[in-house]
Amino acid sequence: MFDQERFIAECKAAVAEGHPAVREVVARAVADPGSVLARLGEPSRAGIYPIFRDEKLTILNLVWGPSMSLMPHDHRMWAVIGIYTGREDNIFWRRRPDGRVEAAGARSCSVGDTLPMGPDIVHSVLNPIPRLTGALHVYGGDFFKQDRSEWDPETLTERPYDTEKARRLFEESNRGVG
């Protein structure tokens, strides 16, 4: 059974061991997606819902809206994503010398899957299904204080990450919910 406080404690302890150890904690949690749903509740709105945050670790319950997509972006810290309901498709991007990015790979994640990402990864995200997708996102630092980049979805040129624009995208995706 997913216990949120135990999950936080296990993630905090695993940070000292490194990114692979955190992946194992997240994998154990989403291996029983029903218990994560029982504790966090069935997602009802897209959004970024903090569970825990300090300078070494951020844990989010991230809920993607139906058919929502998010432009290429980086985190500048490692991350582990664990899907507990729905599906998340990631495109991975390679930086080019001209400041743009080009597609370099992709991965679809379904319920029970985990996706570890290193600190230099650039990815874009799509919820390819017509309902909400919920995932535990664990980051190796303070996700909200880290300077990051995003890439224009049309020109693929780099610019500073716009947190408010990202929040608006989540809110706009709620128009199709319920």
Residue 59, Cα to own-chain centre: how many angstroms?
A: 10
121: its two tokens: 């990864």
Strands 122-126 and 69-74: antiparallel
Percent of the chain residues past pLDDT 90, beyond the cut: 94
Give tens-digit pLDDT for 69-122. Answer: 999 999 999 999 999 999 999 999 999 999 899 999 999 999 999 999 999 999
d(CA 106, CA 124): 9
CATH topology of domain 4-176: Jelly Rolls (2.60.120)
8: its two tokens: 């936080």
CB 60 within 8 A of CB 136: yes
What is the mean pLDDT of the segment spanning 5-17?
97
What is the mean pLDDT of the segment spanning 52-67?
97
Give tens-digit pLDDT for 117-147. Answer: 999 999 999 999 999 999 999 999 999 999 9
pTM tops 0.85, yes or no: yes
Average pLDDT, the chain: 96
User: Strand runs (DSSP E) across the chain, as ranges?
Assistant: 47-53, 58-64, 69-74, 79-85, 87-95, 101-110, 114-117, 122-126, 133-139, 149-151, 158-160
Please tell me the total number of residues recorded for the chain in this structure.
178
Quickly tell me which residue has 């069935």 as its tokens.
Answer: 42
d(CA 161, CA 75): 10
Q: Where are the domains of the chain?
A: 4-176
d(CA 23, CA 19): 6
